[in-house]
Amino acid sequence: MSYLMINHLEKSFGPTRVVKDFNIAVEKGEFISLLGPSGCGKTTVLRLVAGFETPSAGSIEIDGRDVTGLRGNQRNIGMVFQAYALFPNLTVAQNVGFGLKVAGVARTEAAARVAEMLDLIGLPDLGGRYPFQLSGGQQQRVALARALAPQPRVLLLDEPLSALDAKIRVSLRQEIRQIQQQLGITTIFVTHDQEEALSMSDRVVVMNGGVAEQIGAPFEIYNRPATPFVAGFVGSHTAFAAQIVDPAAGIVTLGGAQLKLGQTLAARPGATVRLALRPEAAHLGTADGRETVLTGRIAQVNFMGAIIRLTAMVGDTALTLDTFNRPDTPPPPVGSSVDISVAARDFIVLDAG
């Protein structure tokens, strides 16, 4: 049995159901991200786990024990908030030691633990400062240390990086992940930033309208999105409508060309199937192993540094493709005609209807 089990969790505020039949089994030491647009219920799930909200239905178990009926201060969970929420009247050391003091840990033991935590977050000398004397990134690291000090069973983070500027966000992302792995603490991380979710997590839960649309490793979520929503929300793609020729063999026609997809289809021949293509799956020019060649006209060139994102009109479809920047190869000019090669198995099937 898994360490943290969330079973058929439901939450309604008045008539609105904000979380619908949410299920997940989290292994000990696993890093799970809840990813979804604003208002999809991520925070609510986290607050249900924390014990700040009571579920309308369903149960939450930690380490084999049902905690659904326990209040927030009885669950031994650590939490980091978007707004840091450090206690302004306490020093950094007192903030970090707060949970230990509440738990009645002996003074010397607590002091040692606080020092250990401050070392862990790389701020060993700032114990005597007050929160207002710290930068945002430092405050959030102190908040992390405060959450970890009492050795909680589960760590919850609600968009902890959203209030920080871009550079710190990326470095703190790595730091949090590294600390999490070092301590082996079971973690749920809420974010609306797919890059954060994909780069940090063992598994990602993509949420939409209170429902977990897909749960899987970042590689799986990105390459095999289970629903059109997941395909659209995680990464970008170009959508195509193709006609099924042979569902059992996965053969369709697209703009006159016949493609053999990497999977079989359920619908009958003649039906329309929606396909998606990631920008990196389309290749400028011809190449071995990319048997389908489309002709397009370059409509837009976005130079982004390491990557150049091109938009090409293939028939009526605006196809997005990425190429790596190479100093000796300038991107094709707008209006030029180009060959674009694609491997049929790289098409993602969105739905068969």
Partner 1 sequence: MTDFPATKRHQKTDAKTIPAMARRKRSVGSVFSWAVFVFGVLYFALPLIGMIEFSLRKRRGTYSFDAYTSVLNDSQFQATFTYSVVMSLVTILLGMILVLPAALWVRIRLPRMRPVIEFITLLPLVIPVIVIAFGYLRMFNTSSLLPMTGSVTGTNILLAFGYATLALPYMYRAIDNGLRTLDVQTLTEAAQILGAGWFTILFRIMLPNVFTALLSGAFLTFSIVLGEYVFAALLDRPAFGPYMIWTGGNRAYEPAALAVIAFTITWGCMGLIQLAGRLFPHTRAQR
Query: Closer to ligand ADP at the Cβ: 36 or 97?
Result: 36
Q: Contact 334/300 with Cβ under 8 angstroms?
A: yes
Q: Which does 76 bind (CB under 5 to 8 A by kind): ligand ADP, partner 1, Mg ion, none?
A: partner 1
Q: Which does 40 bind (CB under 5 to 8 A by kind): partner 1, Mg ion, ligand ADP, none?
A: ligand ADP
In the region spanning residues 86 to 145, those forming contacts with partner 1, defined by CB under 8 A, are: 86-90, 98-99, 102-103, 130-135, 138
Query: Closer to partner 1 at the Cβ: 113 or 146?
Result: 146
Q: Contact 339/282 with Cβ under 8 angstroms?
A: no
Contact status: 320 vs Mg ion (CB under 5 A): no
The nearest distance, CB 43 to Mg ion, in angstroms, is: 3
The nearest distance, CB 55 to partner 1, in angstroms, is: 17
- Size, binding site for Mg ion by CB under 5 A: 1
Query: Closer to partner 1 at the Cβ: 139 or 214?
Result: 139
Find the binder of partner 1 among 1, 15, 64, 73 (CB under 8 A).
73
Burial class (CB in 10 A: 0-12, 13-18, 19+), 343: middle
In the region spanning residues 18 to 57, those forming contacts with partner 1, defined by CB under 8 A, are: 50-52
CA distance 4 to 7: 10
Q: Within a 13 Å sphere around the CA of 342, how many CA atoms are in the beta-carbon half?
A: 32
Q: Which does 44 bind (CB under 5 to 8 A by kind): Mg ion, partner 1, ligand ADP, none?
A: ligand ADP
Contact status: 191 vs Mg ion (CB under 5 A): no
The nearest distance, CB 137 to ligand ADP, in angstroms, is: 22
The nearest distance, CB 103 to partner 1, in angstroms, is: 6
Contact status: 150 vs partner 1 (CB under 8 A): yes
Look at residue 194 and give its three-state secondary structure.
helix
Buried b (16+ CB within 10 A) or exposed e, 290-322: bebebebebeeeeeeeeebbbbbebeebebbbb
Q: Which does 99 bind (CB under 5 to 8 A by kind): ligand ADP, partner 1, Mg ion, none?
A: partner 1
Which residue, 9, 56, 2, 6, is CA-closest to 211? 9
CA distance 16 to 30: 31
Give just the sign of the alpha carbon dihedral 19, 143, 86, 198.
negative
DSSP 116-180: HHHHHTT-TT-TT--GGGS-HHHHHHHHHHHHHTT--SEEEEESTTTTS-HHHHHHHHHHHHHHH
Q: Contact 220/197 with Cβ under 8 angstroms?
A: no
Query: Closer to partner 1 at the Cβ: 147 or 207?
Result: 147
Q: Which does 13 bind (CB under 5 to 8 A by kind): partner 1, Mg ion, ligand ADP, none?
A: ligand ADP
In the region spanning residues 13 to 72, those forming contacts with Mg ion, defined by CB under 5 A, are: 43
Task: Give residues in contact with ligand ADP (CB under 6 A).
Answer: 13, 18, 36, 38-44
Residues 6+ apart with CB under 8 A from 315: 255
Binding flags for partner 1, 253-282, as an x/- string (CB under 8 A):
------------------------------
* C-alpha R_g of the chain: 25
Query: Closer to partner 1 at the Cβ: 135 or 174?
Result: 135
CA distance 293 to 303: 24
Contact status: 13 vs partner 1 (CB under 8 A): no
Contact status: 321 vs partner 1 (CB under 8 A): no
CA distance 47 to 53: 6
Binding site for partner 1 (CB under 8 A): 50-52, 71-79, 81, 83, 85-90, 98-99, 102-103, 130-135, 138, 146-147, 150
